[in-house]
Amino acid sequence: MNRAQIDEVKEAIKNIPKKQQENVLLIAKTHGVNRAFLERIKNANSSKENLFEDPIEKYIKLFSKDLD
């Protein structure tokens, strides 16, 4: 696994809400995160995708699109 450095994590999460920044940093410090995860965060920042959206809400949105 290609682990990211803490400095890389801090740079990638600077545009997400403060509480989510704290959560990602805690995970990075205790378990480590890979660079692919950082790319997902960066892509979510640029594409308005909510990476931290509630899975149930995400499922409902996907399901409701199928009904249209």
For the segment 29-42, what is each residue's pLDDT rounded down to a tens digit?
A: 988 888 888 888 88
Sign of CA dihedral 6, 7, 12, 14: positive
CA distance linking residue 34 with residue 54, whole number of Å? 22
- Under the banding of pLDDT at 50, 70 and 90, the label for residue 53 is low
pLDDT > 70 in the chain, percent: 66
CA distance linking residue 6 with residue 4, whole number of Å? 7
C-beta separation of 13 from 41 below 8 A: yes
- Under the banding of pLDDT at 50, 70 and 90, the label for residue 49 is low
What pTM, to 2 d.p., does this model score?
0.60
Whether 63 has a pLDDT exceeding 80, the answer reads: no
Phi and psi, residue 35, nearest 5°: -70, -25
pLDDT of residue 36: 85
